[in-house]
Amino acid sequence: MFALVLAAGRPGQWNLDMARFARENRPPTDYLAKSYYEIWLAGLEAMLAERGLVSVDEMEVGRPLSEPKRLTASCSTAAWKRYFLAAGQPNAGE
């Protein structure tokens, strides 16, 4: 789930703090009823829907209902590699 959140956030639509808020900003009964990974998925779904990247209908049917949006990354490839190197990912600089 962490990799999905990072990959989906790559175009700069959110950062890790925003992802954490999306996970933790669930109604208490919903939060307590979900497993750890379900909470992560619910947060990701909320961020995707809030930014118009995926519609609620698409999430329900599990497939795209229209052409995908084209997004560009907000940072260069070099900046992305530096981010992963700083995070301790040994192959990010290759």
Model pLDDT for residues 10-60, shown as the tens digit of each residue: 778 888 888 899 999 999 999 999 999 999 999 999 999 998 888 889 888
In angstroms, the first-to-last Cα distance of the chain is 24
Question: Is residue 13 within 8 Å of residue 71, measured between CB atoms?
Answer: yes
Rounded Cα distance, 44 and 49, in Å: 9
What pTM value is reported for the model?
0.67
Report how far Cα 42 is from the mean position of its chain's Cα atoms: 10
Q: Which of 10, 81, 8, 90 is nearest to 41 (CA)?
A: 8
Contacts with 24 (C-beta within 8 Å, 6 or more apart), sequence order: 31, 43
Q: Where are the domains of the chain?
A: 2-57+73-86
